[in-house]
Amino acid sequence: MSYMRIRAGDIEVGKPVEWPLYDEKKQLLLARGVVVETESQKQALMERGLFRKLNIRETRLNTDSGERPTDDLCAFEDIKLDIGDTLQLQVQNDAGPQRYYVKLIGFLKGKSVLVTTPSQDGKVLLMREGQTFVVRMFSGKSVYAFGTTIFKVANVPFPHLHLTYPGQVRGLVVRRGARARVNLIAAVSGTDGRSHAATILDLSTGGAMLVAKAPMGVREDRIAIKFRVVINDIEEYLTIPAVLRSVHATSTAVAEGEKPQVHHGVQFEEMPHAEQVVLSAFVYRILFEESADA
């Protein structure tokens, strides 16, 4: 397990820490969510040396060859968010992490971030003042996260929450070619005009891995892949031209009488701008979800 040194700007007095924190010997000092009460307490901790664990997903999102991930800190107001963007609120409890999705209403620098109150099955959930969360959001090609607390629950003129304004936000840059794990049904048209049923196992903005019951062509064949994605509850249908770069059968044993599955590595060719935007939004959204699970 790799560790990253915590800097003074990563901890705010009076607010819960975002990660479990360790000393130089990798002994746990503070559990996630513990509040550093005073500036002197913070200073004593910093002098001792504080570290947090880097999870596998962070490493994958930030580096190609095992290098140390970039430490991207920024101000909340510098993130290019739009009103109505989706934010994820994650809370840790005895039953494990719970995640709620809300919409950004607005913010006032240094004061608060306004979001809609989470709902489930059409019913507004009960939120309480003082409840702490880790907020995650996606913008451009980065996933951002910060710790926050509800300091005001309001129901007029509609249910919404005031969240404490973050001093700094940590961003994780999604590297070029990062692949999202998916399980999407696809229809593939081959060069011979035949249609094949396939499943997309992973997906990036530049290519994918598909599995089918039989070869859908040979290397360098051009194909068209049709599949459905859902972004913010909106269905989109994509048709993407691609080139087969690898075709190989799995070596995993199969039941008698069954054929082995065939994996197809594909590289996407130039596609219309509208479909490129939809594909990017979907891939980055999945990577965003994976970063929360890591």
Min mean pLDDT across 75-79, 149-153, 225-229 is at: 75-79
Q: Which amino acid is at 112?
A: S
- Please name every residue paired with 119 in a beta bridge, in sequence order, or none if there are none: 124
Q: Which amino acid is at 126?
A: L
Give the per-residue pLDDT at 161: 96
Domain containing residue 253: 180-293
The CATH number for 136's domain is 2.30.110.10
Q: Is residue 66 part of a domain?
A: no
Scored b (16 or more CB within 10 A) or e, 21-40 reads bbeeeeeeebeebeebeeee
User: What is the Cα–Cα distance from 146 to 20, expressed in whole angstroms?
Assistant: 14
Does 77 or 172 have the greater pLDDT score? 77
If asked whether residues 80 and 169 sit together in one domain, one would say yes
Please check whether residue 132 is in contact with residue 148, taking contact to mean a CB–CB distance below 8 angstroms.
yes
Give the per-residue pLDDT at 189: 93
If asked whether residues 169 and 184 sit together in one domain, one would say no
Q: Is residue 69 part of a domain?
A: no
User: Last residue of some domain: 139, 173, 207?
Assistant: 173
User: What is the Cα–Cα distance from 166 to 207, expressed in whole angstroms?
Assistant: 36
Q: Is the pLDDT of residue 268 over 70?
A: yes
Q: Is the pLDDT of residue 287 over 80?
A: no
If asked whether residues 184 and 289 sit together in one domain, one would say yes
Min mean pLDDT across 133-137, 165-169, 281-285 is at: 281-285
If asked whether residues 17 and 97 sit together in one domain, one would say no
Tell me the average pLDDT of the chain: 79
User: What is the Cα–Cα distance from 61 to 201, expressed in whole angstroms?
Assistant: 18
Work out the pLDDT band at 239, boundaries 50, 70, 90: very high
User: What is the Cα–Cα distance from 260 to 36, expressed in whole angstroms?
Assistant: 56
Q: Which amino acid is at 94?
A: D
Give the per-residue pLDDT at 99: 79
If asked whether residues 223 and 125 sit together in one domain, one would say no
Q: Which of 31, 67, 29, 68 is nearest to 49 (CA)?
A: 29
Tens digit of pLDDT for each residue in 10-44? 788 887 877 788 777 777 777 777 788 787 777 77
Q: Is residue 283 part of a domain?
A: yes
If asked whether residues 235 and 253 sit together in one domain, one would say yes
If asked whether residues 9 and 104 sit together in one domain, one would say no
Q: Is the pLDDT of residue 266 over 90?
A: yes
If asked whether residues 26 and 115 sit together in one domain, one would say no
Tens digit of pLDDT for each residue in 174-230? 665 678 889 999 999 988 788 999 999 999 888 999 999 999 999 999 999 999 998
Q: Count how many domains the chain has.
A: 3
